[in-house]
């Protein structure tokens, strides 16, 4: 029975077939079908087993046993090859060899548990050969709790609340509280939630999509940025980059860039200047926004890293418009893109912000994918 433990490790294939990696394997997996020597396995103890994999290691649980081991993939081969090396169980040192592939609704594996001969097709042709398919166990991970703070001049903030909360919830396991104060459409307003000293204490991440450039009191600003400096992750969108212009400039240290103006409205070319960063992996080298508002960036903090730029025909430069920053103990993701609703509605834009949010929360893998349990529900 312990040999079946090796089989479930096949779920190493979890993730898109075009980009398999060990981080794609993170999760808990269940059998959908299992057969050996051409016959279905009916042992309920085996069929009810759970396989957990993380960081290239697996743990296989049945009602009466636990087996542990490591997982290796060779993604240069087609089909992808997998080796499952048992380290704790009935057969320490045993290496099962197999192949894996993506199928509708999940994955399948053909494996020789004895390690004698790697299968060359998806079949169970011998006593030590198994054919299995898998599905992900529904996640019991507690959703991230997000706070969206919005309002101010110049934008359709009620519409953007709907676009952001719905679009990000389709990409991230997250629930939302929203603060959009009534009668708050000017450039000067003290958002009600900031009245509380502990305003951010309940949240895993705060999205700032507000636009209050003339709210300049340093003490009020300190009330806003302190929770972030102490570790609350943040996402900063568009006009939030023009907010809170107190003499201390602490808001700009927090977000990572300084901007006090923008050019005319036009579609512009964006360039991925950090293609190796987890947020930017797989994004095009260049792409175009629709008609949009490009902010002019006067400085970038030493703690910030540009991820993308937008070409301005007016300043004749690539203006930083996507970046990450470290502020005290917090990670901050920022983008000045997002003036118009039609921009926010684009899947590429929502994908970018979703990755930035996950990165800020420490829930994005090095391969640019949600950590287990933090992707779509």
Tens-place pLDDT, residues 56-72: 888 888 888 889 999 99
Nearest to 310 by CA among 332, 284, 334, 336: 336
Query: d(Cα 18, Cα 275) in Å, to the nearest integer?
Result: 17
User: Both tokens of residue 254?
Assistant: 């927090």
Find the domain containing 151 and state its range: 144-360
**Is the pLDDT assigned to residue 269 strictly greater than 80?**
yes
Would you state the pLDDT for residue 220? 93
Query: d(Cα 213, Cα 245) in Å, to the nearest integer?
Result: 6
Would you state the pLDDT for residue 169? 94
Domain assignment present for residue 371? The answer is: no
Q: Are 272 and 286 in contact (CB under 8 A)?
A: yes
Would you state the pLDDT for residue 103? 73
Q: How many CB atoms lie within 10 A of CB 81?
A: 17
292 and 178 within one domain: yes
**Is the pLDDT assigned to residue 279 strictly greater than 60?**
yes
113 and 197 within one domain: no
Would you state the pLDDT for residue 4? 39
Q: Domain end: 136, 167, 191, which one? A: 136
Nearest to 307 by CA among 266, 364, 265: 364
130 and 237 within one domain: no
- Report yes or no on whether pTM surpasses 0.75: no
Would you state the pLDDT for residue 13? 32
The model's pLDDT over 19-29, given as tens digits with 9 standing for 90+, comes to: 456 666 667 88
Query: d(Cα 216, Cα 366) in Å, to the nearest integer?
Result: 38
Q: List the CATH number of the domain containing 235.
A: 3.40.50.880
Mean pLDDT to the nearest integer, 193-214: 94
Domain assignment present for residue 368? The answer is: no
**Is the pLDDT assigned to residue 151 strictly greater than 80?**
yes
Would you state the pLDDT for residue 362? 96
Query: d(Cα 192, Cα 237) in Å, to the nearest integer?
Result: 19
28 and 170 within one domain: no
Q: Residue 171: which pLDDT band, with cuts at 50, 70 and 90?
A: very high
Q: Are 193 and 223 in contact (CB under 8 A)?
A: no
Q: Residue 7: which pLDDT band, with cuts at 50, 70 and 90?
A: very low
Mean pLDDT of the chain: 88
**Is the pLDDT assigned to residue 17 strictly greater than 90?**
no
The model's pLDDT over 70-98, given as tens digits with 9 standing for 90+, comes to: 999 898 898 989 999 999 999 999 999 99
Burial of 190 (0-12, 13-18, 19+ CB in 10 A): middle
**Is the pLDDT assigned to residue 1 strictly greater than 70?**
no
Would you state the pLDDT for residue 260? 87
Q: DSSP assignment, residue 138?
A: P
Q: How many CB atoms lie within 10 A of CB 26?
A: 20
Would you state the pLDDT for residue 24? 61
Domain assignment present for residue 329? The answer is: yes
Would you state the pLDDT for residue 45? 81
Among residues of the chain, what percentage have pLDDT more than 90?
A: 67
Total number of domains constituting the chain: 2
122 and 6 within one domain: yes
The model's pLDDT over 223-236, given as tens digits with 9 standing for 90+, comes to: 999 999 999 999 99
The model's pLDDT over 338-366, given as tens digits with 9 standing for 90+, comes to: 999 999 999 999 999 999 999 999 999 99
Instruction: Give the torsion through C-alpha atoms of 115, 121, 127, 130, to 10 deg.
Output: 80
Domain assignment present for residue 366? The answer is: no
Highest mean pLDDT among 38-42, 242-246, 289-293, 331-335: 331-335
Would you state the pLDDT for residue 11? 34
Q: Domain end: 113, 136, 159, which one? A: 136
**Is the pLDDT assigned to residue 311 strictly greater than 90?**
yes
Q: Domain end: 75, 108, 136, which one? A: 136
At residue 259, the 3 state secondary structure works out as coil
Q: Residue 148: which pLDDT band, with cuts at 50, 70 and 90?
A: very high
């Amino acid at each position: 029975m312990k040999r079946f433990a090796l089989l479930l490790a096949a779920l190493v294939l979890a993730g898109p077939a075009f980009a398999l990696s060990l981080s794609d394997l993170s999760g808990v997996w269940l059998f959908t079908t299992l057969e050996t020597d051409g016959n279905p396995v009916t042992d309920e103890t085996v069929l009810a087993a759970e396989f957990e994999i993380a960081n290239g290691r697996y743990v296989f649980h049945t009602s009466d046993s636990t087996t542990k081991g490591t997982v290796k993939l060779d993604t240069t081969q087609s089909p992808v090859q997998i080796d499952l090396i048992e380290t704790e169980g009935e057969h320490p040192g045993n290496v099962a060899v197999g192949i894996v592939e993506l199928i509708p609704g999940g994955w399948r594996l053909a494996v020789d548990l004895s390690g004698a001969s790697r299968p060359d097709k998806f079949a169970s042709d011998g006593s030590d050969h198994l054919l299995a398919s898998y599905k992900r166990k529904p996640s019991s991970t507690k959703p991230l709790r997000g706070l969206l703070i919005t309002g101010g001049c110049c934008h359709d903030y009620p519409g953007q609340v709907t676009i952001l909360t719905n679009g990000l919830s389709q990409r991230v396991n997250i629930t939302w509280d929203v603060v959009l104060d009534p009668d708050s459409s000017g450039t000067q307003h003290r958002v009600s939630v900031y009245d509380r000293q502990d305003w951010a204490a309940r949240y895993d991440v705060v999205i700032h999509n507000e636009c209050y450039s003339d709210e300049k009191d340093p003490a009020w600003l300190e009330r806003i940025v302190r929770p972030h400096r102490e570790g609350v992750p943040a996402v900063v969108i568009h006009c939030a980059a023009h907010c809170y212009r107190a003499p201390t400039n602490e808001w700009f240290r927090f977000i990572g860039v300084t901007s006090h103006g923008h050019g005319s409205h036009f579609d512009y070319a964006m360039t991925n200047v950090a293609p190796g960063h987890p947020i930017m992996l797989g994004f095009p080298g260049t792409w175009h926004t629709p008609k949009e508002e490009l902010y002019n960036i006067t400085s970038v903090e030493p703690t910030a890293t540009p991820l993308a730029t937008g070409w301005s025909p007016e300043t004749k430069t690539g203006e930083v418009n996507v970046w990450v920053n470290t502020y005290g103990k917090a990670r901050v993701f920022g983008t000045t893109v997002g003036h118009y609703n039609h921009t926010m509605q684009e899947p590429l834009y929502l994908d970018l912000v979703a990755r930035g949010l996950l990165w800020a929360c420490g829930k994005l893998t090095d391969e640019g994918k949600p950590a287990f349990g933090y992707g779509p529900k």
